[in-house]
Amino acid sequence: MTETKNWQAQTRMVHEGQDRSPFGETAEALYLTSGYVYDSAEQAEARFKEEEDGYIYSRFGNPTVRAFEERMMALEGAQDARATATGMAAVTACMMSQLQAGDHIVAARALFGSCRYVVETLMPRFGVACTLVDGRDLDAWKTALRPETKVLFLETPSNPVLEIIDIQAVANIAHNHGARLVVDNVFATPVLQKPMALGADITIYSATKHIDGQGRCLGGIILGDSDYIKNQLANFIRQTGPSLAPFNAWVMLKALETLHLRVERHCDNAEKLTDMLVAHDKIERVYYPGHHSHPQFELAQKQMTRGSNLIAFDVKGGKANAFVLANSLEIAHISNNLGDAKTLITHPATTTHAKLSDAAKAELAIQDGTLRLSVGLEDAADLLDDFERALAKLA
Ligand SMILES: *Cc1c(COP(=O)(O)O)cnc(C)c1O
């Protein structure tokens, strides 16, 4: 492990967590091994008794995966972390590792679809109740609390119309009640928003998104204090196996070296595209947390350094025009993924949020003409041209 020095984040993202083998390789080694051998039976015994540090089996820990965890801990300012196979494995493991029958979750209703399934459908099957609230309404969080509430869960900015929730205020509500706040920080990225510095107890990422950043590997990570990670999460992962593959951890480590550069460029492009969309007469409404027209612009400025690369907007003319626009774009591809180098556009009402009732869609401001855009790393002028040309085709 690299010693913790007073380096800036970008420096640490290039060096943190590396533990060189005797070969002295420059890059991080890829330890593609499921098991480990011991020098003696006594050593094996000591490892299992936890009297000696060292690896036992890659479901419990692996040096490449640990390097990724340590680099993420440095970025987040967390005491400890465990990586998982996907972002959803992280969300599920986080909930399952700390809750039991009789407990209660309060969650913001504007959640990534599968996260909403975990808290609204899966956890209640195991006796953990859940109340969904409008996360922007601080009184709604307080009213939903019960004596048995153990976890508050939110995502900000949220999917798909980028609502902003006040992390610090919800953390205070959680702590006054003796509960923990868990934040899914995917949309903001660890570069633009630090939930733990704002009071969150646990931060979760789908590393599949901006952390990989090039749409290659699935991955996830849970970051928190050493007590939670060591005493609750580590054993849950060890016994149930949602562990990250060493190869994917190695890809993520490589990707963290350029995360800051990529996120800044994503934001530059998103700001330019937002300015163009806001001014366009075929667009009804634009949601971008980094633009002053966002209804919670001030709160976004307070807790995020920039607006990230997700933009939602409503085109005039509903679904028909939304489809014409998506089909007419040449650079932007139609895909529900996000945080990729490639610009991706999706129609939430018929894809990511198709399973929601009309009432639930209305609560989330998802209209027939709503599109969600994940702005990529292409040349900004090319992107603007692509959108100008496609928008000109709308009736
Ligand atoms: C993608 C995503 C997830 C799930 O991550 P996977 O790696 O796809 O499992 C969770 N939360 C948010 C906000 C996401 O965007």
Q: Could you tell me if 304 and 207 lie in one domain?
A: no
Q: Could you tell me if 124 and 215 lie in one domain?
A: yes
Q: Could you tell me if 166 and 315 lie in one domain?
A: no
Q: Could you tell me if 68 and 204 lie in one domain?
A: yes
Predicted confidence band of residue 115 (pLDDT cuts 50, 70, 90): very high
Q: What are 116's two structure tokens?
A: 């909403």
Give the tens place of pLDDT for each residue, 21-65.
999 999 999 999 999 999 999 999 999 999 999 999 999 999 999
Q: Could you tell me if 47 and 178 lie in one domain?
A: yes
* Widest Cα–Cα separation across the chain: 76
Q: Which is nearest to 341 in space by CA: 154, 216, 191, 203?
A: 216
Q: How confident is the model at residue 395, as a pLDDT? A: 85
Ligand 1 centroid vs 323 CA: distance in angstroms? 24
Q: Could you tell me if 115 and 138 lie in one domain?
A: yes
Q: Give the total number of structural domains in the chain.
A: 2
In a domain, 311, yes or no: yes
CA–chain centroid gap for 79, Å, is 19
In a domain, 2, yes or no: no
**180 pLDDT exceeds 90?**
yes
Q: Could you tell me if 242 and 269 lie in one domain?
A: no
Q: Could you tell me if 249 and 290 lie in one domain?
A: no
| CATH number of the domain residue 222 falls in | 3.40.640.10
Residue of minimum CA distance from atom 8 in ligand 1: 87
| CATH number of the domain residue 350 falls in | 3.90.1150.10
Segments forming the whole domain that contains residue 372: 259-391
**Pocket of ligand 1 contains residue 88 by CB under 6 Å:** yes
Helix 246-256 to helix 63-76 angle (10° resolution) is 40
**337 pLDDT exceeds 90?**
yes
Q: How confident is the model at residue 25, as a pLDDT? A: 96
Q: Could you tell me if 331 and 382 lie in one domain?
A: yes
**Pocket of ligand 1 contains residue 352 by CB under 6 Å:** no
Three-state DSSP state, 19: coil
Q: How confident is the model at residue 6, as a pLDDT? A: 85
B/e letters for 203-227, b = 16+ CB within 10 Å, e = fewer, are bbbbbbbbbbbbbebbbbbbbbeee
Q: Could you tell me if 278 and 225 lie in one domain?
A: no
End residue of a domain, out of 206, 240, 256: 256
Average pLDDT over residues 352-365: 92
Q: Which is nearest to 188 in space by CA: 196, 180, 177?
A: 196
Only one residue has tokens 């909930």, namely 95
AA identity, residue 359:
A
Q: How confident is the model at residue 1, as a pLDDT? A: 46
Give the tens place of pLDDT for each residue, 231-285.
999 999 999 999 999 999 999 999 999 999 999 999 999 999 999 999 999 999 9
**Pocket of ligand 1 contains residue 112 by CB under 6 Å:** yes
For the purposes of burial, counting CB atoms within 10 Å of the CB of 236, is it exposed (0-12), middle (13-18) or buried (19 or more)? middle
**Pocket of ligand 1 contains residue 115 by CB under 6 Å:** yes
**Pocket of ligand 1 contains residue 111 by CB under 6 Å:** no
For the purposes of burial, counting CB atoms within 10 Å of the CB of 101, is it exposed (0-12), middle (13-18) or buried (19 or more)? exposed
Question: What average pLDDT does the chain have?
Answer: 96
Q: Could you tell me if 109 and 223 lie in one domain?
A: yes
Average pLDDT over residues 285-291: 98
Q: Could you tell me if 91 and 143 lie in one domain?
A: yes
Report the C-alpha gap between 184 and 95 in whole angstroms: 12
**Pocket of ligand 1 contains residue 92 by CB under 6 Å:** no
Give the tens place of pLDDT for each residue, 120-168.
999 999 999 999 999 999 999 999 999 999 999 999 999 899 999 999 9
Ligand 1 centroid vs 319 CA: distance in angstroms? 25
**Pocket of ligand 1 contains residue 186 by CB under 6 Å:** yes
H-state helical runs in the chain: 9-15, 41-48, 63-76, 87-98, 113-117, 123-125, 138-144, 167-176, 189-192, 226-228, 234-240, 246-256, 259-279, 297-303, 318-328, 358-363, 380-391
**357 pLDDT exceeds 50?**
yes
Predicted confidence band of residue 2 (pLDDT cuts 50, 70, 90): very low
What does each C-alpha distance from 148 to 101, 152, 202 come to in angstroms? 10, 12, 19
Three-state DSSP state, 85: coil
**Pocket of ligand 1 contains residue 183 by CB under 6 Å:** no
In a domain, 373, yes or no: yes
Whether 57 and 34 have beta carbons less than 8 Å apart is answered as yes
Q: How confident is the model at residue 4, as a pLDDT? A: 59
End residue of a domain, out of 237, 256, 275: 256
Nearest 5°: CA angle at 255, between 113 and 244? 60
AA identity, residue 322:
A
Best mutation site among 209, 335, 373 for ligand 1 pocket (most ligand atoms within 8 Å of CB): 209
φ and ψ at 81, to 5 degrees? Answer: -160, 160
End residue of a domain, out of 220, 235, 256: 256
In a domain, 3, yes or no: no
In a domain, 1, yes or no: no
Ligand 1 centroid vs 118 CA: distance in angstroms? 12
